Amino acid sequence: MFTNEKSFGGAFGKEILKNIDNFNSLEIASGYFDPQTIEKNREKLIQIAKRGYLKILIGMIYHEGVSKTQKKTLEELNKDLKKINKQSGVFITLRKYHGKIYKFKKDQQDLIFVGSSNFSGTGMYGNLECNTSVLDKESKNKISKFLNYLFATKEVCQNLDNVELTLKKRKKKRIKEKLSKYEISKSLFPKLKSLSETKIKLRVDEQPRSSLNLYFEKGRKNPKTGKYSPRPWYEVEITSEKDERTKDYPKGKFTAYLVDDSKYYKLNMITASAGFKAITTKDNREILGEYIKGKLEREGHLERLETITIDTLRNYGRDYISLKKIKDKTYYLEF
């Protein structure tokens, strides 16, 4: 066991560096990293790649972003590793991966560590951590299969060359169509009684990377650059179930009126996909997200880059949207 505490195994970093010298290949799967750890040990990393291969996977930066220094360090290391052989390189997960695995290999011998230490100075030396070697063959095989899955599954992981990392200090991308564009005066807001109400459950725990959490999907591939980048933070699309699509459920284009923070809005909406199950704003899916996520943010239930869970909605006090029909293809939208 290695905890970075002298009485309990000592510094995990020392054990990792020792084994880099003793083995021919290394696979690292870490949630985070720091540039200093890579630069300080660059020569050792290059040498193990030359003896066999080196694959480094970073799991939490695709959606959270990186500094300019972090981006430059990863790009330079990836370029140098790919020159050595095709197996080596830097890889980025398109889904959040928070685990920490270090697998060394030499001929038929392997050594695997799992625990809490990121590939960083604080993880290897500073923080109180807990890492241990895996001894039994069955567990080793399962972990090796999981590593193969991480590195080889394109829906989950891509080489850095295929990913557009977002700079943390970069100006936020401007939303093309903001909710404010659809604001209307109170006098234009209809005063009709609702004819019926359709409730659409927000199944966020069943859809941790879709619906309200589209931001955490793998993102979009730019056809010009071939690189993946995350979806916009406010992009959402709510999915209805078959039993929720009643006779008054909207099919195709419809209009929705809503009140938010004492302001009145008229939105162009649409239901699409098979069975008209996907509900979103027609002009731009970020508009609906700005309304729903914006309310959660303003009331202190959601921070940017957080996943919306059932607890988020329970704290807010509502886990569904309501479509109240007032006339043909016209509804009140409430959340």
Rg from Cα positions in the chain: 25
pLDDT at site 209: 87
Which amino acid is it at 107? D
Say how far residue 162 (Cα) sits from the centre of its chain: 16
Q: Please give the single-letter amino acid code of residue 17.
A: L
**Residue 326 in domain:** yes
Same-domain check for residues 103 and 223: no
What is the pLDDT, as a whole number, of residue 110? 96
- Given a cut of 70, is residue 175 above it in pLDDT? no
Q: Are residues 114 and 258 in the same domain?
A: no
| Distance between CA atoms of residues 237 and 217, nearest Å | 12
Among candidate residues 162, 197, 218, the one where a domain is terminated? 162
Residue 174 has pLDDT above 90, yes or no: no
The pLDDT score that the predictor gives to residue 208 is 85
Q: Tell me: the pLDDT tens digits for 300-317?
A: 999 988 999 999 999 999
pLDDT tens readout for residues 276-290: 999 999 999 999 999
Residue where one domain finishes, among candidates 127, 162, 197: 162
- Model confidence at 233, pLDDT cuts 50, 70, 90, reads very high
Q: What is the pLDDT of residues 242-271, one digit of tens each?
A: 999 999 999 999 999 999 999 999 999 999
Q: What is the distance between the alpha carbons of residues 178 and 288, in angstroms, rounded to a whole number?
A: 10
The two structure tokens encoding residue 161: 């060359």
58 with 196, same domain? Answer: no
Q: 325 near 198, Cβ under 8 Å? A: yes
Q: Could you tell me if 199 and 328 lie in one domain?
A: yes
Residue 167 in any domain: the answer is: no
CA distance 95 to 42: 27
CA distance 111 to 19: 9
Indicate yes or no: pTM above 0.75. yes
Percent of the chain surpassing pLDDT 90 = 94
Range of the domain at 238: 179-334
Both tokens assigned to 260: 């938010």
Report which of 142, 111, 165, 156 is spatially closest to residue 2, judged by C-alpha positions: 111
SS3 98: coil
pLDDT tens per residue across span 263-278? 999 999 999 999 999 9
The pLDDT score that the predictor gives to residue 144 is 97
What does the pLDDT look like over 67-89, one tens digit per residue? 999 999 999 999 999 999 999 99
Q: How many domains in the chain?
A: 2
Same domain flag for 239 and 312: yes
CA–CA dist 254, 296 (Å, integer): 25
Q: How far apart are CA 94 and CA 96, in angstroms?
A: 7
Q: Which of 137, 162, 187 is the last residue of a domain?
A: 162
> Is 26 in the same domain as 97?
yes
User: For the residues 205-220, what does the mean pLDDT come to?
Assistant: 91
**Reduced 3-state DSSP string for 18-42:** HHHHHCCEEEEEECCECHHHHHHCH
Please report where in the chains the tokens 């193969």 appear, as a residue. Answer: 148
Residues 223 and 319 in one domain: yes
> Within this chain, do residues 29 and 88 fall inside the same structural domain, yes or no?
yes
Residue 169 domain-assigned (yes or no): no
User: Contact 153/162 with Cβ under 8 angstroms?
Assistant: no
- For residue 23, the domain's CATH number is 3.30.870.10
